[in-house]
Copies of this chain bind each other. A is one copy, B any other.
């Protein structure tokens, strides 16, 4: 299985603290040694770093941690292979352009009978069930709307609906970023936290690292973090009920949909 990490904020924030915790699970404290990826939005597109190798030992993952980039929206993933060989084209997150913006997707779980799903204009490059499901999901969305809807929640509602359909019988926890919002679906396991004033200290569960958020934030900052499992051991993370889709905008939980 894999682990997901997403961040969505109201001010540009670096993801180094959370990514350090995730990267540790990518081969050191965890067993997700088959790849890692990190997408950092800048406007309507993302810089994507990904490698079919363990994050814990990766010079590129270390570079990303040592040269933090601030972003409003990030999607990260560490992979433990279940379907498809270990190679670049099978490494999350996956990305496609629709309506002049980049959609970025990462998945945890296994989608059942994925080849039965109808594909539209998007086709998988690799051989994972994850990328296939992403192409089916985005193709369905492309059929539902002519352009990015004025109300981003309309898009999120459609993603929740298609997510429930595609995930039937399998495990379809995923993160989908569209440059405006982070859509996070819980099929079995997903947690989130919104950090805001008054900020406190937090200590990673997987690395001996503590950060005092009060020292690096302003009182208006809000940062939502979503992860498969809580990344810190001294904060209160909220567990999603299976079948829930969360939508984060401007660092807050903006909408929740049930299957």
Using CB atoms and an 8 Å cutoff, list the residues of chain A in contact with chain B.
Answer: 42-45, 47-48, 50, 59-60, 63, 67, 87-89, 96-102, 121-126
Specify which chain B residues have a CB less than 8 angstroms from the CB of A89 in the assembled complex: 42-45
Specify which chain B residues have a CB less than 8 angstroms from the CB of A99 in the assembled complex: 123
A157 to chain B, nearest CB (A): 23
Specify which chain B residues have a CB less than 8 angstroms from the CB of A48 in the assembled complex: 48
Q: Which residue of B lies closest to A98 (CB)?
A: B123
A236 to chain B, nearest CB (A): 35
Q: How many copies does the complex hold?
A: 2
A180 to chain B, nearest CB (A): 13
Cα–Cα distance between A33 and B191 once the two chains are bound (Å): 42
Cα–Cα distance between A102 and B63 once the two chains are bound (Å): 25
Q: Which residue of B lies closest to A59 (CB)?
A: B67
Q: Is the Cβ of A45 less than 8 Å from the Cβ of B100? A: no
A213 to chain B, nearest CB (A): 26
Q: Which residue of B lies closest to A58 (CB)?
A: B67
Most chain B CB neighbours (cut-off 10 Å) among A42, A44, A122, A125: A125
A54 to chain B, nearest CB (A): 15
Please name the 3 residue pairs, one residue from A and one from B, whose CB atoms are nearest each other, closest first.
A100-B123, A42-B88, A45-B89
